[in-house]
Amino acid sequence: MTAKFPGHKYSNAGAFVADYASAMAKALTSVRPEEIDRAAAVLKQAIRNDKLIFACGNGGSAAISNHLANDCTKGIGTDTTLRSRVVSLSATIELITAIANDIEYAEIFAHQLRNAARPGDVLITISSSGNSENIVRALKWARDNGMTTIAMSGFSGGRSAQMADINLHVEAANYGVVEDAHQSLMHILAQYVRMSELPSERVQALQF
């Protein structure tokens, strides 16, 4: 079982940041490299096949979902011929509040998928606990309707880790550490997919 962090009160921020950085490094390296490879391959294939890539999350994970749409749309396309179509289901505040108010909050992502997603599209969910009901329902709908699913999870992994085709699980028990690792995974995937399309000399010359 992952050790709790912090396990005690710190007397100063300098000491806390040192241990936080150590916890962060352990968390990021806990993600299985083969799962990251699979996720990168799925994203690249989806882009090449002109499929939509959807992302969603709550709270801080919603911000990562929105950031993912930015880095995968603009970042991957910079200096490459890849033209990704990425949609953050967490960015549609008008639609989210309408669904939450008129149907239920647990349906805010699955309802959007019912209207916009098609077989062969990809869903990336971001949830530290892996148990948020709206995330679980989105994964279930995606799985039942021919989408490939990638879950970013933390803590015990929750239901998301069991449901997704690819599980990018962060072994950490601190929300900040898990979210920071998820943010790093988003950057890793976007930068790797972009880099994989470039010749070595261009990689050396460009700013990432």
* pLDDT tens-digit map of 87-136: 999 999 999 999 999 999 999 999 999 999 999 999 999 999 999 999 99
Identify any residues that bridge with 161 across adjacent strands, giving them in sequence order: none
pLDDT digit string, tens, across residues 25-83: 999 999 999 999 999 999 999 999 999 999 999 999 999 999 999 999 999 999 999 99
- Cβ atoms 190, 76 nearer than 8 A: yes
Q: How many residues does the chain have?
A: 208
Mapped onto helix, strand or coil, the DSSP state of residue 2 is: coil
Contacts of 131 (CB under 8 A, 6+ apart): 158, 159, 160
The one-letter code for the residue type at 154 is G
The most distant pair of C-alpha atoms in the chain lies apart, rounded to whole Å, by: 54
pLDDT confidence band for 207 (50 / 70 / 90): confident
Enumerate the domain spans of the chain.
Answer: 14-205
| Exposure string for 55-89, b = 16+ CB within 10 A, e = fewer | bbbbebbbbbbbbbbebbbebbeeebebebebbbb
**CA neighbor of 114 nearest in space, from 99, 125, 101, 129:** 99
**CA neighbor of 139 nearest in space, from 164, 156, 158:** 164
Superfamily of domain 14-205: Glucose-6-phosphate isomerase like protein; domain 1 (3.40.50.10490)
pLDDT digit string, tens, across residues 148-201: 999 999 999 999 999 999 999 999 999 999 999 999 999 999 999 999 999 999
